[in-house]
C-alpha cells in the first residue's frame, strides 16, 4: 500500500473550499487592518478590542457540539442492530468531522467571526469621533420627501396604533440578534451547502465591512431617537418618543414593554462616555438590522422557499420596527436593502468563479470517461 498517497488524499483540501476560505481570510485581514489604521490615524487605538465578543466563540462551539451530538445519537439509534458498533461510530465521526475539508471549511469562519464582529463594534463605538454626526436633518427631510410630506413613523403608528402592537414590533426587533446568530451558526456548520453557504458567508462579511463600517462613517448619523440631542430640535421626533414612553408605562408592572427605550438610553450613556462595549455605538445610515434581515431573506430563499417566506416576513417586521421604535429613518432601511442586494449579486458572481474550476474539471472527467461496451 502506498501510505504516502493515502495520507495525501486524507489531507488534500478541495480546491473550491480552499479558494473560498482564502477569500474569507483576505476579507477578515482587510477589515482588521483597515480598522486598525483608521483608529491609529485618529488616535483611538484604545478602542481596538478584538476580544470583545470572544465569549461567542465558546458559546457557539458548545451549541454545535451539543446539537451535533443529539442529531448523531438519533441517527445512530436508527441504524440496524448489526450496524451499531464502535467501528460505525468511528467511521461516521471521521467522515463527518475529522476530515480536512470539513475542518477547514468549518473552523476558519467559526474562529474568526467573533473577532470580526468585535472589530466592527470597536469602530462603530467611535464613528462620532471620527466623523461627527451631520446627516440627520437631511435624512429626516429625505424621509418626508419620499413619503409625500409625512414622517414615516406617523404611518407606522397609524397602522400599529396600540401599545400591544408596538410591544410586538419591539419583540421581533429584539429577536434580530438571536435569529442572525442562529442562522450564521447554521450556515457555518452545514458545509454541505457548498455554494449557497459560501455566498452567504461572503455577503455577510462584505455587508458588515462596506455597509456597516465604511458607509456608517461616511454617512455619519444618529437616528430619530437621538435627533433632538444631535440636531437640537426636539419637535420633530419628540412626539414619537413621547408615544413610545406612554406605551412603555402601560407595561411597567409586567415583563413586557418597549425595551428599545432602555437600550437607547444605554447607548447614549456609552456615547457620552466614549465607551466601547458589547453592542455599543450609534449609527443610523445605513441600517445593519435591515441589511442583515435582507441577507437572511436572500439566503433563506436560496436554500428553501419556506425559509425565504419566513425571512421575508421578518425583513418587513424589522424595517417597520426600525422606524416605529425610533431607531432609523425609513430611508436607512431602503438603502440597506438595495446595497445588500448588490453585494449579494456580486457574491453570487464571485462564488461561481470560485467553483468554476472544479465544475470544469468534473465535466472533463465525465466527458472523457470510457463508454460501457454494449452486448
Residue 28 placed within a domain: yes
Residue 288 placed within a domain: yes
Sign of CA dihedral 315, 320, 325, 328: positive
Residue 84 placed within a domain: no
Residue 81 placed within a domain: no
Higher pLDDT, 278 or 156: 156
Residue 179 placed within a domain: yes
All three cell numbers of 314: 421578518
Q: Give the predicted TM-score (pTM) of the model.
A: 0.87
Nearest to 133 by CA among 31, 288, 290, 284: 284
CB 181 within 8 A of CB 113: no
Domain that holds residue 265: 14-50+101-356
Q: What are phi and psi of 292, to 5 degrees?
A: -65, -40
Tens digit of pLDDT for each residue in 76-108? 777 776 777 777 777 767 666 667 777 788 888
Residue 141 placed within a domain: yes
Structural domain count of the chain: 1
Residue 92 placed within a domain: no
How far is the C-alpha of 207 from the C-alpha of 291, rounded, in Å?
7
CA distances (Å), 88 to each of 11, 19, 85, 306, in order?
A: 22, 32, 5, 35
Higher pLDDT, 61 or 373: 61
Tens digit of pLDDT for each residue in 36-90? 999 999 999 999 999 888 888 888 888 877 877 777 777 777 777 677 777 777 7
How far is the C-alpha of 212 from the C-alpha of 206, rounded, in Å?
9
3-state class of 279 per DSSP? coil
Nearest to 201 by CA among 193, 305, 135, 219: 193
Amino acid at each position: 500500500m502506498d501510505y504516502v498517497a493515502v495520507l495525501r488524499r486524507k489531507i488534500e483540501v478541495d480546491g473550491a473550499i480552499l479558494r473560498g476560505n482564502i477569500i474569507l481570510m483576505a476579507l477578515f485581514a482587510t477589515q482588521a487592518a483597515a480598522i486598525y489604521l483608521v483608529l491609529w490615524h485618529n488616535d483611538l487605538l484604545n478602542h481596538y478590542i478584538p476580544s470583545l465578543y470572544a465569549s461567542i466563540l465558546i458559546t457557539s462551539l458548545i451549541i454545535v457540539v451539543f446539537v451535533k451530538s443529539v442529531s448523531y445519537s438519533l441517527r445512530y439509534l436508527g441504524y440496524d442492530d448489526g450496524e451499531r458498533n464502535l467501528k460505525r461510530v468511528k467511521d461516521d465521526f471521521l467522515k463527518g468531522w475529522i476530515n480536512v475539508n470539513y475542518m477547514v471549511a468549518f473552523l476558519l469562519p467559526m474562529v474568526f467571526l467573533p473577532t470580526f464582529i468585535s472589530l466592527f463594534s470597536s469602530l462603530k463605538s467611535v464613528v462620532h469621533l471620527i466623523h461627527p454626526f451631520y446627516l440627520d436633518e437631511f435624512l429626516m427631510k429625505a424621509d418626508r420627501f419620499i413619503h409625500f410630506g409625512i414622517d414615516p413613523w406617523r404611518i407606522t403608528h397609524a397602522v400599529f396604533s396600540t401599545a400591544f402592537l408596538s410591544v410586538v414590533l419591539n419583540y421581533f426587533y429584539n429577536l434580530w440578534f438571536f435569529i442572525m446568530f442562529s442562522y450564521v451558526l447554521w450556515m457555518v456548520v452545514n458545509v454541505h451547502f457548498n455554494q449557497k453557504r459560501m455566498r452567504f458567508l461572503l455577503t455577510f462579511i462584505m455587508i458588515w465591512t462596506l455597509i456597516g463600517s465604511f458607509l456608517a462613517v461616511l454617512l455619519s448619523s444618529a437616528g430619530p431617537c437621538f435627533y433632538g440631542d444631535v440636531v437640537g430640535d426636539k419637535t420633530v421626533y419628540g412626539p414619537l418618543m413621547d408615544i413610545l414612553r406612554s406605551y412603555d408605562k402601560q407595561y411597567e408592572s409586567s415583563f413586557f414593554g418597549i425595551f428599545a427605550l432602555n437600550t437607547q438610553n444605554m447607548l447614549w450613556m456609552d456615547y457620552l462616555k466614549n465607551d466601547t462595549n458589547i453592542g455599543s455605538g450609534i449609527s443610523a445610515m445605513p441600517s445593519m438590522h435591515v441589511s442583515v434581515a435582507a441577507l437572511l431573506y436572500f439566503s433563506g430563499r436560496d436554500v428553501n422557499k419556506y425559509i425565504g417566506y419566513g425571512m421575508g416576513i421578518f425583513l418587513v417586521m424589522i424595517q417597520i420596527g426600525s422606524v416605529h421604535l425610533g431607531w432609523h429613518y425609513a430611508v436607512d432601511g431602503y438603502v440597506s436593502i438595495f446595497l445588500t442586494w448588490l453585494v449579494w449579486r456580486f457574491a453570487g458572481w464571485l462564488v461561481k468563479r470560485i467553483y468554476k474550476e472544479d465544475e470544469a474539471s468534473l465535466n472533463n472527467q465525465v466527458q472523457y470517461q470510457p463508454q460501457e461496451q454494449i452486448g
